Amino acid sequence: MVPVDLAHVEKLQRALDTAANLSKLYNAPVAYVGVTAAAPGPLGHNAAEYAARLEAFAKDQGARHGISTQSKSVVSHDPAVDLSDALVEAVKTTGSDLVVMATHIPNVVDHIWPSNGGRLATHTNASVFLVRS
């Protein structure tokens, strides 16, 4: 599984490439997961429109890298607040055993609030591969 923020795909390239390379090596499908609000936003007027964009992104990644892909869109009341919980649930519903996700260089705030990757590692049975961008 690869969590994606379609508004910042350019910052995810290393994680996307890593997931694609692992997919090829182990012949494993990749599930691209995006979390969105039900309210209109820059990536869609509604959740269905966002889901269609995410599906197109997944298909493009599949064609570009020659891998099997799927997409899963998760609707949240407040994606910024609910992101970790939504990703934990997505790991369970997709049956993913590995999460490849982009991360940043830790800073002081990360010592106070846990990271999304840390939450996935402690609240799911999946392994978490963090790729610094």
Q: Where are the domains of the chain?
A: 2-132
- Residue 107, pLDDT > 90, answer no
Q: Quickly state the pLDDT bin for 106 (edges 50, 70, 90).
A: low
Label residue 116 by pLDDT band (50, 70, 90): confident
Q: Is 86 helix (H, G, I), strand (E, B) or coil?
A: helix
Query: Tens digit of pLDDT for each residue in 37-86?
Result: 988 888 888 999 999 999 999 999 999 999 999 999 999 989 888 999 99
Binning pLDDT at 50, 70 and 90, where does residue 108 land? low
Residues in a beta bridge with 44: 41
pLDDT at 50: 96
CB 102 within 8 A of CB 63: no
pLDDT band at 10 (very low <50, low <70, confident <90, very high): very high
Q: Could you give the maximum distance between any two Cα atoms of the chain, in Å?
A: 40
Instruction: Please determine, for residue 113, whether its predicted confidence score (pLDDT) is greater than 80.
Output: no
Cα(105)–Cα(123) distance, rounded to whole angstroms?
Answer: 22
Q: Please check whether the domain covering 2-132 is classified as CATH 2.20.25.10.
A: no
